[in-house]
């Protein structure tokens, strides 16, 4: 299939073309990188869902997707999963977690393997997200691996970052204060029908109020995703953030971070962990004192 034909099918909403394009980008095939230059990107809201394991991110996204479908919206979901140690592919299955919407023609679900990325996102998720922006969706939802506070990369990708917490995290409020506020544009207290939810909700409101800036106070939304409760409030909070003046300033910074990420990937495309390991093994077997900084100098000079 010719490049122009594939990009044409993609922009007309063809799902096979979309899946093929993302696969080509994940596998870092040069011709697909060139196709990115031909695409026209719409201003589609990109909503990132982050938070600790067990917070119910997948269930929340499932419920929020159902809410968007009732509003006649087309939704794309990128679920970033841990990698298999054997084939570097996605370890968890989106079909299991979001099977309710898998066959819906207005929903596109794709799992991407983190492939060892420490920030909670897959290496080529920035490009995959842009492909989705060119494919006629109304909302793009990103779910990260769920590895705690190292999930700061989501702030470099999403227009609105939703931090999902549960009442059991109430004992960790001091940890949350130490840096997670920089990530969250919206707080979601999921499983809010559990014991301790009201107290934790009040603490989050106080935390949000004390960190308010640029005329924006991070909303705190209660949800029970398993019962699809609180989706209207979540939608209103996301739309309020999207309409706020601060998001325009954020967009320029997001583009700069995307550009930096793309340049970094391009410059290191010929370097792999396996090739470095082999070369290091050979160097270590040589006589003499090994110096890591002398070793890497040839790659950075």
Q: Do 117 and 8 lie in a common domain? A: no
Residue 254 lies in a domain: yes
Q: Which residue in 130, 141, 116, 131 sits closest to 57, CA to CA?
A: 141
Integer angstrom CA distances of residue 126 from 36, 73, 87, 145, 292 = 12, 22, 22, 15, 31
Residue 161 is inside which H or E element, if any? strand 160-165
Q: Do 195 and 114 lie in a common domain? A: yes
Name the token pair of 152.
């700061």
Look at residue 98 in the predicted model and tell me its pLDDT. Answer: 61
CATH number for the domain that contains residue 247: 3.40.50.300
What interhelical angle do 231-242 and 57-70 show, nearest 10?
Answer: 80
The whole model's pTM is what? 0.81
Q: Do 57 and 92 lie in a common domain? A: yes
What is the spatial distance between Cα 78 and Cα 19, in angstroms, rounded to a whole number?
12
Instruction: Look up the domain containing 23 and give its range.
Output: 1-40
Q: Which residues contact 300 (CB under 8 A, 6 or more apart)?
A: none
Q: Do 30 and 171 lie in a common domain? A: no
Q: Do 83 and 204 lie in a common domain? A: yes
pLDDT tens by residue, the chain, 301 residues: 566 688 888 878 888 999 999 998 888 787 887 888 888 888 899 999 988 878 899 899 999 999 999 999 999 999 876 543 333 444 444 445 566 777 888 999 988 765 544 444 455 788 888 899 999 999 999 987 654 444 556 666 788 989 999 998 755 555 555 556 667 889 999 999 999 999 999 988 988 888 787 778 899 999 999 999 999 999 999 999 988 877 777 777 777 877 887 787 778 878 877 888 999 988 888 867 888 888 888 888 7
Q: Do 225 and 293 lie in a common domain? A: no
Structurally, the chain folds into a number of domains equal to 3
Q: Do 24 and 144 lie in a common domain? A: no
Which residues in 221-258 are b (16+ Cβ under 10 Å) and which e?
bbbbbeeeebbebbbebbeebeebeebeebeeebeeeb
Q: Do 80 and 128 lie in a common domain? A: yes
Q: Do 13 and 102 lie in a common domain? A: no
C-alpha 109: how far from its chain's center? Answer: 13
Residue 270 lies in a domain: no
Q: Do 12 and 102 lie in a common domain? A: no
Q: Which residues contact 76 (CB under 8 A, 6 or more apart)?
A: 107, 108, 109, 110, 132, 135, 137, 139, 140, 141
Residue 56 lies in a domain: yes
Q: Do 67 and 170 lie in a common domain? A: yes
Residue 27 lies in a domain: yes
Whether residue 48 contacts residue 77, with contact meaning beta carbons closer than 8 Å, is answered with no
Q: Do 238 and 128 lie in a common domain? A: yes
């Amino acid at each position: 299939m010719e490049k122009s034909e594939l990009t044409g099918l993609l922009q007309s909403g063809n799902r096979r073309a979309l899946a093929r394009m993302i696969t080509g980008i994940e596998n870092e095939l040069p011709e697909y990188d060139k196709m990115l230059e031909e695409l026209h990107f719409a201003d589609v809201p990109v909503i990132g869902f982050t938070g600790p394991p067990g917070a119910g991110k997948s269930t929340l996204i499932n419920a929020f997707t159902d809410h968007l479908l009732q509003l006649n919206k087309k939704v794309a979901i990128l679920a970033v999963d841990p990698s298999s140690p054997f084939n570097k592919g996605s370890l968890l299955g989106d079909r299991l977690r979001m099977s309710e919407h898998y066959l819906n023609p207005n929903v596109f679900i794709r799992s991407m393997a983190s492939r060892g990325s420490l920030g909670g996102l897959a290496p080529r998720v920035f490009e995959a997200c842009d492909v989705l922006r060119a494919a006629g969706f109304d909302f793009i939802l990103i779910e990260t691996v769920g590895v705690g506070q190292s999930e700061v990369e989501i702030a470099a990708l999403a227009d609105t970052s939703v931090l999902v917490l549960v009442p059991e995290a109430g004992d960790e409020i001091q940890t949350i204060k130490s840096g997670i506020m920089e990530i969250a544009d919206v707080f979601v207290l999921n499983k809010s029908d559990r014991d301790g939810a009201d107290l934790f909700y009040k603490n989050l409101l106080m935390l949000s109020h004390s960190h308010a800036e640029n005329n924006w106070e991070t909303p705190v939304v209660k949800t029970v995703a398993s019962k699809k409760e609180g989706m209207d409030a979540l939608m209103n909070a996301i739309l309020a953030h999207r309409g706020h003046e601060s998001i325009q300033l954020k967009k320029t910074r997001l583009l700069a971070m995307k550009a930096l990420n793309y340049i970094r990937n391009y410059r290191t495309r010929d370097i792999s962990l396996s090739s470095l390991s082999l070369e290091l093994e050979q160097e270590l077997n040589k006589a003499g004192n090994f110096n890591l900084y002398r070793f890497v100098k040839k790659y950075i000079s």
